[in-house]
Amino acid sequence: MTATVEVESSGEPLASGVQFPEGFIWGAATASYQIEGAANEDGRGPSIWDTFSRTPGRVYRGHTGDVACDHYHRYVEDVALMADLGLGSYRYSIAWPRVQPDGTGPVNTRGLDFYDRLTDELIGKGIDPVVTLYHWDLPQTLEDRGGWTVRETAEAFAEYAAIVHARLGDRVRTWTTLNEPWCSAYLGYGSGRHAPGIQDPAAVFKSVHHLLLGHGLAARALRSAGAQNVSITLNPAAVSPLDPQNPADVDAARIVDGLHNRIFLDPLLRGAYPDDMREHMARFTDLSHIQDGDEKIINAPIDVLGVNFYTPSYVSAKPGHPASPENPGTEGIAFRPPVGPITDIGWQIEPAALTRLLDRLHQDYGVPMMITENGAAYPDGPSGDSGEVHDTNRIEYLDGHLRACLDAISHGVDLRGYFAWSLMDNFEWAEGYKMRFGIVHVDYTTQQRVPKDSAKWYREVIRRNGLSDQGRIGE
C-alpha cells in the first residue's frame, strides 16, 4: 500500500464531498486517570483504578497512573499544544476523588482549583471545554460500600455533578455525565478486566442500572443548575450477524446488540428497558433494584449522544460455546476473531462499520450525535535523527473513519463533531503504557511531547474543515 500524506497547508480548494458541515466541532479527548498523574497531590483521594493498578497482575507490567503524562503539572504546555493543533474543543474528564476524596461529603477545593485553572487556560486559548464527569475513576470509598452495584452511588454521583457544575458551570457549556458505562459495568464487574476487578453477572446488571440512574439524576441536577448541553457517551457496538441469512446468527446479534446497545439506549432515549433485556437480566438478578420511576429519571432529555467507536463485532450462533465473562448470558454465541487489518491492540479496522452504526442510531433513536472518541493504537515512536513520529497507519485509520462520518452525514445523520482519541499517548487501562493511542507522542521518561505526523495531518483537517483528496491514503 502506498501512502502519500499531505501534512503541510496547501490552501487549494477542496473537491466536493470531502467538506464537513459548517460549524462541525473538531476536538481531541483524554481522561483524568489516564493523563493527570499527581495521584496523591492536593488532597486527591484514592480511586478504584489506584487500587486496581497497584494490585499485582492486574495491569501490564504493574503500570499505574501515579505519574501518567504528568498533565496535572503540565496542563499549560498541553493546552498550548492543543492550540497549536487548532483544536476547537477539548474533551477532558474530572476525577471525582479530587473533588470529593471519599465520593460523598467534604469537597476538596484544591481539586476543583485544578479544573478551574485548566478550564480558564482552555478558554484563554479559544478552546471550548467539554467536560466528562465520570471516566471510570470511582472514589475507592464508594466502591467499598458497593460501588455501582448500589443505588447510593448513583445518588452520590448527582451530588458530585452539582458540585462540579457550581464551580465550572459559568464557563463549561457541554456536560457529559458518563463515559462508556458498558465498560464500567461489564469489564468492571463482569470480566474483572477493569477496576474494581469483580466477576459477578448479577453485579453487571445492577451496575448497568445504577450507572444509568446516576446519569439521569445528574442530568436533572445539571439541567436545573442551568447546563446548556447535557450528554452521555456510550461505546455502542457495531454488531452484525456473521451470516445475515442464518436466523440463529441473527438472533445471536440481537442478544449482543441488546447487551451492548439497547440496554442503555432504550431507557435513555425511549424511557424503558427492552423486554428481551429485562428477561435476560432476570436470569441473573430479581430486578428489585429497578424501582418504579427509575426509567423515567434515566429518560432525562439529552442534547447530544456521544459515540465512541473503534472496531466492529461479528457474532454467530455456536452451540456449546461458553459465555464470554464480560457478556453474561452469551453461552452459545461466538465472537469472530478480528480479520483483515488490525491495530496494535488487536482491534479490526473497518470504517464502514462506523457508518452502519451511525445510520442505525439515527434511524432507531433520532438523536444528534458526536463522535467523542475514535482512534488507533500503534507502537510508534520518534524515528532517526529528526525525532519525528511517522504514524502513517494512524492517519490512514483516522482518515478512513472521518470519511465514514461523512458518509453517514450524507445519509442524513445529525453528526455534530469529532474528537480524536487521544490527544496524547497515555495510560491505556489494563494495557498500561504499552498501547499508544495519541496523536502526540509522550516519552514517559522525560515527559517530552512530540506531535506525530497524525497531529500535523489533523491540524490540516481542522483548518480545512474537511479532507483533502490529495491527502487520501492508500491510493
- The residues assigned a catalytic role are 180, 373
CB 135 → ligand IFM: shortest distance, Å? 6
Residues 414-433 that bind ligand IFM (CB under 6 A): 421, 428
Q: Which of 128, 180, 350, 460 binds ligand IFM (CB under 6 A)?
A: 180
Q: How far apart (Å, rounded) are the C-alpha atoms in residues 368 and 415?
A: 6
- From its phi and psi, is residue 189 left (phi > 0), alpha (psi between -120 and 50) or beta? alpha
Q: Measuring CA to CA, which residue among 409, 375, 397, 234 is closest to residue 307?
A: 234
Residues from 53 through 112 that contact ligand IFM (CB under 6 A):
none
The CA-atom distances, in angstroms, between 327 and each of 190, 197, 206, 334 are: 7, 15, 14, 11
Closest approach, Cβ 427 to ligand IFM, in A, equals 8
Phi, psi dihedrals of residue 360, rounded to the nearest 5°: -65, -45
DSSP secondary structure letters along 389-444: ---HHHHHHHHHHHHHHHHHHHTT--EEEEEEE-SB----GGGTTSS---SEEEET
Between 31 and 154, CB nearer to ligand IFM: 31
The count of residues interacting with ligand IFM (CB under 6 A) is 8
Residue closer to ligand IFM (CB basis): 135 or 280: 135
Q: Does residue 373 touch ligand IFM according to CB under 6 A?
A: yes
72 labelled binding-site residue? no
96 is in an annotated binding site: no
Tell me the closest approach of the beta carbon of residue 462 to ligand IFM, in angstroms.
21
**Residue at shortest CB range from ligand IFM:** 31
Residue 108 or residue 308: which is nearer to ligand IFM going by CB? 308
34 is an annotated ligand-binding site residue: yes
Distance (Å, whole) CA 177 – CA 179: 7
- Number of C-beta neighbours around residue 76 at 10 A: 13
Hey, which residues does 231 pair with through a beta bridge? 176, 304
SS3 label, residue 342: strand
Whole-angstrom Cα distance, residue 458 to residue 424? 13
The reply to whether 31 sits near ligand IFM by the rule CB under 6 A is: yes
Using the rule CB under 6 A, is 137 a contact of ligand IFM? no
Contacts of 335 (CB under 8 A, 6+ apart): 256, 313, 314, 315, 324
Smallest distance from the beta carbon of 255 to ligand IFM, in angstroms? Answer: 23
90 is in an annotated binding site: no
Quote the least distance from Cβ 469 to ligand IFM, whole Å. 30
Work out whether 20 is an interface residue with ligand IFM (CB under 6 A).
Answer: no
Instruction: Pick between residue 28 and residue 300 the one whose CB is nearest to ligand IFM.
Output: 28
85 backbone dihedrals φ, ψ, rounded to 5°: -80, -10
Q: What is the sign of the dihedral through the CA atoms of 82, 433, 421 and 225?
A: negative
221 vs 404 by CB, closer to ligand IFM: 404
Residues of this chain, 251-290, that bind ligand IFM according to CB under 6 A: none
Matching residue, cell 489494563? 430
Would the annotation count 310 as a binding residue?
A: yes
Q: Of 72 and 273, which has the nearer Cβ to ligand IFM?
A: 72
179 is in an annotated binding site: yes
261 among the known binding-site residues? no
What is the CB-side half-sphere exposure of residue 311 using CA atoms within 13 A?
19
Q: Phi/psi class of residue 329: alpha, beta or left (left: φ > 0; alpha: ψ in -120 to 50)?
A: left
Complete DSSP assignment for 216-229: HHHHHHHHHTT-SE
CA atoms within 13 A on the CB side of 429: 19
Query: Which one of residues 308, 311, 313, 316 is an interface residue with ligand IFM (CB under 6 A)?
Result: 308
Determine the longest span between alpha carbons in the chain, in angstroms.
65
Kindly tell me which of 191 and 308 has the beta carbon lying closer to ligand IFM: 308
Question: Least distance (Å) from ligand IFM to the CB of residue 107?
Answer: 25
We find the least distance from the C-beta atom of residue 98 to ligand IFM, in angstroms, to be 17
The annotation places the binding site at 34, 135, 179, 310, 421, 428-429
The annotation places the binding site for substrate at 34, 135, 179, 310, 421, 428-429
Give the footprint of ligand IFM on this chain (CB under 6 A). Answer: 31, 34, 180, 308, 373, 421, 428, 437
